[in-house]
Structure 1
Amino acid sequence: MISNIISMFQPAQVYKFDFSEAKRRCRILLIDDDENALPIKDLLDDGYNISQIQTVDSNNLKNCEEGTYDMIILDYNGVAPKSITPDDGFGIFTRIRSANPSQYIIAISGEAYQISKTEYFEKANDWINKPAPLTPTKEKIDKGIKLLFDLSTVLQGLKEILIKDGIPHKSADKIINHFLTKRVTNLEEAVDFTRRTAKVANLSTQITSLLRFVIRLGGA
């Protein structure tokens, strides 16, 4: 397991992951004009740091673009006036990701068929179909919190995708060990090392996305 590899290189306390603390720290913004889209009160009672806005204005958008929130749950319909963007939630998504490519965004919709067919949902980190019960909502949010705050989860996911993409286990292990033992804070450097070690011309979108999370956590 990745956690066992980590303990070989760094003191255990450096990589000890406290989910309760991460849940408290993770700033979550729900952007949805439906007050009942998610069980907000239940999430707050359970210790999640979540707030909701129904319409995006220029100040809200600036905060989202500047990375004020660790996680954004975004509806695509009825959340933005045309003075902000003519493309409603799609436009907000594009604006946020253009300004902050590593922003973790969960798409939310009441239309199940949109989930698999819309480019918007494919570009999001995850999706929720509303109205969402508490348990599946927590599962989606918890998955994001672990990616945002737990290096071992990120590296485990990175190794699995490297191998799934056909990278030899030995090369995948070398890549993981590199990020365990060296502090890498530049995405271009991380991509270049991974590409050269894997001996591929280009990396998949999934690998690049996970490398952004490695950089966010600061590596070793």
Structure 2
Amino acid sequence: MHELLIGLIVTAGGSLLNFISTKIYNSVTGSSKNFIWKNTYPALKSIQTPLEFEELKKRTRIVVIDDEDSFPISLFQAENYSIDKWAAVKDYSKLENGFYDIIVLDIKGVALHISVDDGLGVLESIKRKNPSQIIIAYSQHSFDLSKAKFWELADEKIAKPSDYLKIKNIIDTLIDSKFKPGRYIETLHSILRKNGYDEIEIKKLDKELIKVIKNKQQPDWSNILDFASNKPELVHQIITIGNTLLKFFK
């Protein structure tokens, strides 16, 4: 009886020690192991939901910002693309916060009210605030070499006027190649690394995003990003990219 009691105490003590150890390990490393040291949460990349192109197309919000009527909006609408048309930048916050997944941006005559560099200034500003934003530079003007850095930021360039099929091919290619959860995950990780955060913090962010996805809830960004509360631009970038990423799991 005495030996049985000692055995039970040792077993209970070992289980408690193991439980405490896993809690400490998870807290320090950002991992999600349970008491038998198996991961309770998979890697963020492993829960990607594969979507057919037609479904991706339906989910992709596109805005065309052009002071002329050269873009074949009606043809895209007839093919069930979700597409808006602005004659000039009228709601910059929507461009900056990732509301639109693809921005087709005329580089002349659309943004002088907010930037001396017009559309090119908007392009640079958006890419700084949200590096994952897909932007097509749209222009009938020859490329100004003095603005080379702006052009390099664009994901694609379209000369206008261009026919519907050429534009459609470019947009479809961008949807198929860049409007993917894996790309947004990689961008999030890259931004954190560039700001000096290690793999432990990256794992912690992944874990919190997985919780949001599994529980089908709205993210509490102030709690999730408490580690970066003193870096408002970084917080803005993560929230914008994170919200775009979560679109794939709704």
If the length of structure 2 is used for normalisation, what is the TM-score? 0.53
Helix, strand or coil at the partner of 1:50: strand
| Structure 2: 5+ residue stretches without partners | 1-44, 200-240
Counterpart in 2 of 1:129? Answer: 159
Task: Check if 1:95 corresponds to 2:125.
Answer: yes
Task: Check if 1:39 corresponds to 2:72.
Answer: yes
1:59-98 paired onto structure 2 within 5 Å: 60-82=91-113, 84-98=114-128
| Structure 1: 5+ residue stretches without partners | 1-8, 155-178, 194-212
Helix, strand or coil at the partner of 1:97: helix
Per-residue CA deviations over 1:15-39 (Å, capped at 9, x if unaligned) read: 5331111111100011110112x11
Counterpart in 2 of 1:17? Answer: 51
- What one-letter code is carried by the residue in structure 2 that aligns with 1:66? N
Counterpart in 2 of 1:56? Answer: 89
Counterpart in 1 of 2:61? Answer: 27
Counterpart in 1 of 2:8? Answer: none
8 Å contact from structure 1 (residues 26, 145) kept in 2 = yes
Q: CA deviation at 1:43?
A: 0.6
Distance 1:29 1:81 in 2: 18
Per-residue CA deviations over 1:81-134 (Å, capped at 9, x if unaligned) read: 33x1111111111221122121110101113x4188833222200111111111
- What one-letter code is carried by the residue in structure 2 that aligns with 1:118? A
Alpha-carbon spacing, 1:130–1:190, altered in 2? closer, same or farther (3 Å) = same
Distance 1:92 1:10 in 2: 35
1:141-180 paired onto structure 2 within 5 Å: 141-150=171-180
- What one-letter code is carried by the residue in structure 1 that aligns with 2:50? K
Distance 2:80 2:111 in 1: 29
Distance 1:98 1:32 in 2: 22
Q: CA deviation at 1:65?
A: 0.7
Counterpart in 1 of 2:28? Answer: none
Counterpart in 2 of 1:186? Answer: 189
Distance 1:66 1:217 in 2: 13
Helix, strand or coil at the partner of 1:86: coil
8 Å contact from structure 1 (residues 28, 73) kept in 2 = yes
- What one-letter code is carried by the residue in structure 1 that aligns with 2:93? K
Counterpart in 2 of 1:3? Answer: none
Alpha-carbon spacing, 1:91–1:17, altered in 2? closer, same or farther (3 Å) = same
Q: CA deviation at 1:147?
A: 2.6
Q: CA deviation at 1:148?
A: 3.4
Per-residue CA deviations over 1:161-212 (Å, capped at 9, x if unaligned) read: xxxxxxxxxxxxxxxxxx9xxx99532467788xxxxxxxxxxxxxxxxxxx
Helix, strand or coil at the partner of 1:114: coil
Distance 1:95 1:56 in 2: 13
Number of aligned residue pairs: give it.
158
8 Å contact from structure 2 (residues 124, 153) kept in 1 = no
Alpha-carbon spacing, 1:95–1:188, altered in 2? closer, same or farther (3 Å) = closer
Q: CA deviation at 1:141?
A: 0.4
Distance 1:95 1:151 in 2: 23
Percent identity of the aligned residues?
33
